[in-house]
Amino acid sequence: MRDLLVVSIVLAVLPFVFRHTWVGVMLWTWLSVMNPHKLAFGFATELPLAAAAAGTVLISLLTTRDKLRMAWSPPVGVLFGFVIWMCLTTAFAFDPAGSWVQLNKILKIQLMTAIALMALHERKHIELFLWVNVLSVGFFGFKGGIFTILTGGSQ
- Kindly report, residue by residue over 107-138, the tens digit of the pLDDT: 999 999 999 999 998 999 999 999 999 999 99
pLDDT at residue 99 greater than cutoff 90: yes
| Domain that includes residue 22, residue range | 2-151
Which pLDDT value is given to residue 50?
Answer: 92
Per DSSP, 3 falls in state H
- CA gap 94, 74 in Å, rounded: 31
pLDDT at residue 153 greater than cutoff 80: no
Residue 84: other Cβ atoms inside 10 A: 10
Which pLDDT value is given to residue 110?
Answer: 96
Q: How many structural domains are present in the chain?
A: 1
- Kindly report, residue by residue over 20-72, the tens digit of the pLDDT: 999 999 999 999 999 888 888 888 888 899 999 999 999 999 998 888 999 88
Least confident among 39-43, 102-106, 148-152:
39-43
- CA gap 42, 48 in Å, rounded: 14
Within 8 A by CB and 6+ apart from 75, the residues are none
Name the residue among 19, 29, 94 with its Cα closest to residue 62: 19
Which pLDDT value is given to residue 21?
Answer: 94
